[in-house]
Amino acid sequence: MADTVRSGARAAAAGRFELSRLLRVREAGVFIALVVICLFLTFATDAFLTSLNLLNIGRQVSLLGIMAVGMTFVLISGEVDLSVGSTYAFSGLVTGMLIIAGCGLLPALAVGLFAGAVIGVINGILSTYGRLPSLIATLGMLSIVRGAALILTNGQPVTVNARNGALPDVLETFSFMGQGYLFSVIPMQLVFFAIIAVLAWLVLSYSNFGFRVYAVGGSAKAARVSGISVNTVKIWAFVLMGLLAAFAGILSLAFLPSGQAGRTGLGLELDVIAATIVGGASLSGGEGTILGTILGVLIIGVMRNGLVLMGVSPFVQELMIGLVIIIAVGIDKWTTRRAT
Amino acid sequence: MKIRHIILAAALSLLPALAHAEAKLADFSLADRIKAKIAAGQPLDIYVSYHDVSNEFAPFMKAGVQRAATSDKVNAQFIGPVGADADGQISEIETLMSKMDGLAISSVSTDALAPLIDKVIAAGIPVVTFNTDNPESKRLAFAGQDLVQSGREAGKLMAKVLGGKGKVMITTIDAAAQWSLDREKGAREALKAEPGIEVVSTLNTGTDPQKIYSAIENAMLANPSISGVLSLECCSTPAAGTWVERNKAADKVKVVGFDLLDQTVQLVQSGDVQATIDQAPEKQGFAAVDLIVQFLKGQTIENLDTGVGVYTKENIAEVAKK
């Protein structure tokens, strides 16, 4: 049994070697697009290429980035998760409510993350053993989890501060997670994003689990034949996504430090999926890298930042971001076709 | 097509009559079903449709609705879509139409809801608007804050805290929404009257708290000369105040906004938000039901201004949690 698994993984690895050269080309495409946008903004506005603004961008993309890392696993495994915006709101609000109820930091964080993991397990089971397409299962969960957050908070904002009952030392650490700076320069949110991205890159590129995620998304049948439990791999991808969405939601509340179940993270799932797709992940599974996702997240973040800096009308901004998504993915597809 | 033109012309000819906004039962063709209910002394079923039951104000509105239901001895239901969704609001009211003896509505969108309001009225069910008016419709009366007027108040406050001089950015979580357009109109009017003040731009932040903060952060960096931020609603007010607090910019940038969210109250206390305007949501919920009940009792009703409360560092203690 162990031998079949290993040879299956080896076969997947051999297949991936060819693929990885292709992927490197793809990342180059996204990278060039990012450089072009940055160069343009550098000349178009004085405020863009300043250390303050670049650190702002770093912070502004971090939460999107943390979630996009999770989405990369889910998309590569051939599934999609639409419930992440709701999970982000729910876990953040639960953690916040516990903290203002006088709970310690670790238990509050654990409950928030656990909630995210449970949502991931449900998404995973519905999409595998439940035989629902993940698009449908997670669309349902999007609504269920948002509803649960509204019921839990009664639609009231949750503001984490001492006056509402947060313990001083808990508040200090919690605030530092969202608002603090490492070496008084690098926003903590960016630090978390960097750590998570590196870990995810290691897992996806070098671990057995990473092999299996690619194998399952590339061809579920081939993966099953080579002894990989397709359902288990997919459920784990959803759990990872749930955990990361929960963590991003908790960091968001720590930063603001207020959230509201009707607004927090509304529509965020589309931003997350857009960033991941721009980074080269494929909705049909089997393709995508963490590096590509990071570049995709940066393109979306730099665009949002740059358009505001240039004073572009808010309505035109929406249009421009849509265009960038289409052009970025388009260039990717057109150049790849020519290359093959 | 022709019929629609005739209806439109007829509706337009009615507008001047409605403009002075006074309505009484004698002029209204009430549905027989409701007449019978009143004659039999049965409790009336009043529906209050709010444009987003998941926002911060909904619980206060709902509390006002319940208070009115108890004091007027009617059944009042607080309904509406989760998230400002015009289609959702319309279909819910259509579904409940045969059961309602009166409707109070705060529209997601004036244009989308006006035909529905007219349809409900045509069915002999009285309709009033609350919180957000729908002047395009034939609604009987409006209870709430005059939005253009509240915008004007905000503009005047902004001019006052700036000492009549400076560059102002207007922020809103939904620049295209009717309430936002109305308040922006009032605010710009008031600021235009001040020769020393220039409105630089209107920033549309979106509704997600994280996006609101980032949009403000980016805009402030792009326009370092901004000395006043005028927020048109609940939610970019604390975000602007938080930006001022974190950048220790209270001397340089003055914030005027709306509503009394927890965070906003604290930022007024700390001096990072100079003034905020409250719209008394509980009163609006109460007035919504009460207007309909008064109308069905045969009393003349007219537009009811639920008022503007201005809170600054001087009087914010009145509303701060103990």
Query: A296-309: per-residue pLDDT in tens?
Result: 999 988 988 888 78
Task: Nearest chain A residue to B242 by CA: give it.
Answer: A256
DSSP letter for each residue of B15-31:
HHHHHT-EE-GGGS---
**Terminal Cα-to-Cα distance of chain A (whole angstroms):** 37
Q: Which tens digit of pLDDT belongs to each residue from B114-172?
A: 889 999 999 999 999 999 888 889 999 999 888 899 999 999 999 999 999 999 999 99
| Phi and psi at residue B22, to the nearest 5° | -140, 135
**Distance between B136 CA and the closest CA of chain A, angstroms:** 25
Provide the greatest CA pair distance for chain A.
62
Length of chain A: 340
Work out the minimum CA distance from A221 to partner chain B, whole angstroms: 41
What pLDDT is recorded for position B17? 41
Q: What is the CATH number of domain B147-278?
A: 3.40.50.2300
User: Would you call the peptide bond into B16 cis, given omega within 30 degrees of 0 as the criterion?
Assistant: no
Whether the per-residue pLDDT at B13 is higher than 60: the answer is no
Q: Does B305 touch chain A (CB under 8 A)?
A: no
Q: What is the pLDDT of residue A69?
A: 97
Positions of chain A with pLDDT lower than 50, given as ranges: 1-11, 14-15, 338-340
Kindly report the CATH class assigned to B2-135+282-305: alpha beta
What angle is formed at CA A189 by the lines to CA A185 and CA A195, rounded to 5 degrees? Answer: 100
Instruction: With beta carbons under 8 A apart, name residues in chain A contacting B237.
Output: none
- Predicted confidence (pLDDT) per residue in B168-223, tens digit: 999 999 988 888 999 999 999 999 999 999 999 999 998 899 999 999 999 999 99
Using the beta-carbon criterion (under 8 Å), do B210 and A146 form an inter-chain contact? no
Burial class, B261, CB count within 10 angstroms (exposed 0-12 / middle 13-18 / buried 19+): buried
d(CA B273, CA B270): 8
Instruction: Check which CATH number belongs to the domain holding A322 and give it.
Output: 1.10.3470
**A1 class by beta-carbon count within 10 Å (0-12 exposed, 13-18 middle, 19+ buried):** exposed
CA B259 to CA B239: how far, in whole Å?
Answer: 13
Q: Enumerate the H helices of A45-78 as residue ranges.
A: 51-76
DSSP 8-state symbol, B101? S
**Residue partners of A71: CB distance under 8 A and separation at least 6:** A81, A84, A241, A272, A273, A275, A276, A281, A293
- Asked if A65 contacts A195 with a C-beta cutoff of 8 angstroms, the reply is no
Q: Is the pLDDT of residue B19 over 50?
A: no
Respond yes or no on whether ipTM tops 0.95: no
Phi, psi of B21 (to 5 degrees): 45, 65
In this chain, the answer to whether the domains covering B2-135+282-305 and B147-278 adopt an identical fold is yes
Task: Note whether B221 contacts A264, CB cutoff 8 Å.
Answer: no
Task: Give the pLDDT confidence score for residue B11 in this predicted structure.
Answer: 47
pLDDT tens digit string along B230-257? 999 999 999 999 999 999 999 999 999 9
In angstroms, what separates the C-alpha of A143 from chain B's closest C-alpha? Answer: 10
Give, for A259, the enclosing helix (H) or strand (E): strand A258-259
With CA atoms as reference, report the closest residue to A283 among A235, A254, A325, A227. Answer: A325
Residues of A in contact with B180 (CB under 8 A): none
* Separation CA B283–CA B64 (nearest Å): 6
> What is the overall mean pLDDT for chain B?
89
Residues in A touching B82 (Cβ below 8 Å) = 146-147, 150, 262
**Structural domain span for residue A330:** 2-339
- Residue spans of beta strands (DSSP E) within chain B: 22-23, 45-49, 75-79, 102-105, 127-130, 142-144, 166-172, 197-204, 228-231, 254-258, 275-278, 301-302, 304-305, 309-312
Helix (H) or strand (E) holding B229: strand B228-231
Task: Give the Cα separation of B210 and B284 in Å (integer).
Answer: 29
How many folded domains does chain A comprise?
1
Strand order in the sheet with B309-312: B197-204, B166-172, B228-231, B254-258, B275-278, B309-312
Domain limits, chain B = 2-135+282-305, 147-278
Quick check: B59 contacting A, CB < 8 Å?
yes
Each residue of B101-114: pLDDT tens digit? 999 999 887 788 88
Place of tokens 């993991």: A117
B309-312 and B275-278 as β-strands: parallel, antiparallel, unpaired?
Answer: antiparallel
Residues 106-165 of B with CB under 8 A from A: none
Predicted confidence at residue A315, as pLDDT, reads 73
**Measured between alpha carbons, how far is A129 from A231 in angstroms, rounded to an integer?**
7
